[in-house]
Amino acid sequence: MSPGDPGFVPPFCPHPDCRFHTCAVGWRYRRHGHFARRCEPRVIPRFRCSHCRHTFSSQTFSPTYWLRRPELLEPLFFRSLACSGFRQIAREFAVAPTTVLGQVARLGRHCLLFQHQHRPRTPLAEPLVVDGFESFEFSQYHPIHLHLAVGARSHFFYAFTDSELRRKGRMTARQQRRRAALERRFGRPDPRAIERDVAELLRLVLPEPHYLRLFTDEHPAYPRALRRLHGWSFEHRRTRSTVPRTPRNPLFPVNLLDLLIRHNGAHHKRETIAFAKRRQSALERLAVLQVWRNFVKRFSERHGGPTPAMRLGLTSRPLTVTEVLRARRFPSRVVLPARLARYYWRDVPTRRIPNARRLRLKRAA
């Protein structure tokens, strides 16, 4: 039952310090009046926990909790995937760009928790395809890699991590001077970032040492990443980047995901002005895409077919976005790996924006 229904029954105490927060066995609560609001549903029932005495409402259990424009959350799930910039979206809904930013960030956090709660718990039964998706944050002087891990057969998008890179490639003398000046002022990314963050990517997919069949391109950082994983064993198959990107290419599952990301996110288009100002928000949008790709989107737009989650037996049918957004996910009820917790709490720094806002605990949703 969704929080908007009149017969809503609170599933647990929403107060993180209450002993009935994570397990509701034996929990008691009472009705505690209601409040009226300007948007539908207008009458929201309130409750009081008989144990910790905190009050809450049915809205406390909705992902739209505390939003002034709750009706935008679901449309924004689609818009954030539909290749529009935040300003365009804001114009369409006649709201401030910060409203869109805030709600898309919330969607990203919701999806991080959703994905983690619905991840496969059985041992990995397929090879993993890994690749680095190139983009940049703030300006072209700050390239980033988003490392993606995809199932070779299921196309399930298991995990992602991020790396900051140094700008490379052809540059004019002026650009080189500019890079040097920026590096003096803001520091240089860790040259071992890729191997560190790819090792962490694999640990997100498989927390324990494992035998893994892995397909990647010939990037020299990958063998170094694997050497960081003590106790693991690998069959590592590398494919030259010049091999045609057809379905027969072993990297096809990740090439396809690359395309989906590039196609759906305006912030990753080359030569765009809609690029991500902060890597943090690129990660949040990627979390939305991950849930959509795994649980909502049928395998092919034209031919239908199951979702990657159905291929892994996690769900029996595609979920709708309404279903994905039905219940608020509480970070206090989900134990996230450290890396995902950093993504959740907006702890990914952008060098050029020194005091970027981290998430205020109270509003965490």
Q: What is the contact surface with Zn ion in residues (CB under 5 A)?
A: 13, 15, 18, 49, 51-52
Smallest CA-to-CA distance from 12 within 60, 45, 63, 44 is with 60
Smallest CA-to-CA distance from 283 within 155, 38, 115 is with 115
Smallest CA-to-CA distance from 4 within 73, 58, 76 is with 58
- Check whether the bond before 41 is cis (ω within 30° of 0): yes
The nearer residue to Zn ion, 10 or 132, going by C-beta atoms, is: 10
* Strand order across the beta sheet in which 55-57 lies: 29-36, 43-49, 55-57
CB of residue 47 to Zn ion, shortest distance in Å: 10
The nearer residue to Zn ion, 13 or 266, going by C-beta atoms, is: 13
Structure tokens at 341: 């917790």
CB of residue 54 to Zn ion, shortest distance in Å: 5
The nearer residue to Zn ion, 27 or 93, going by C-beta atoms, is: 27
CB of residue 296 to Zn ion, shortest distance in Å: 33
The nearer residue to Zn ion, 56 or 136, going by C-beta atoms, is: 56
CB of residue 330 to Zn ion, shortest distance in Å: 13
**Contact indicator for 74, 63 with CB cutoff of 8 Å:** no
State residue 171 phi and psi, 5-degree precision. -135, 150
CB of residue 26 to Zn ion, shortest distance in Å: 12
The nearer residue to Zn ion, 54 or 262, going by C-beta atoms, is: 54
The nearer residue to Zn ion, 19 or 87, going by C-beta atoms, is: 19
CA 144 to chain centre: 16
The nearer residue to Zn ion, 51 or 342, going by C-beta atoms, is: 51
The nearer residue to Zn ion, 52 or 182, going by C-beta atoms, is: 52
CB of residue 23 to Zn ion, shortest distance in Å: 12
The nearer residue to Zn ion, 33 or 191, going by C-beta atoms, is: 33
Amino acid at site 126:
E
* Strand order across the beta sheet in which 128-136 lies: 157-164, 143-151, 128-136, 211-217, 233-239
DSSP 307: -
Which residues are CB-neighbours of 55 under 8 A, at least 6 positions away? Answer: 32, 46, 47, 48, 49
CB of residue 52 to Zn ion, shortest distance in Å: 3
What SS3 class is residue 133? strand
What is the rounded distance in angstroms from the CA atom of residue 28 to the CA atom of residue 177?
Answer: 66
CB of residue 363 to Zn ion, shortest distance in Å: 20
State residue 267 phi and psi, 5-degree precision. -75, -10
CB of residue 49 to Zn ion, shortest distance in Å: 3
Smallest CA-to-CA distance from 202 within 334, 337, 294 is with 337
Structure tokens at 289: 């895409």
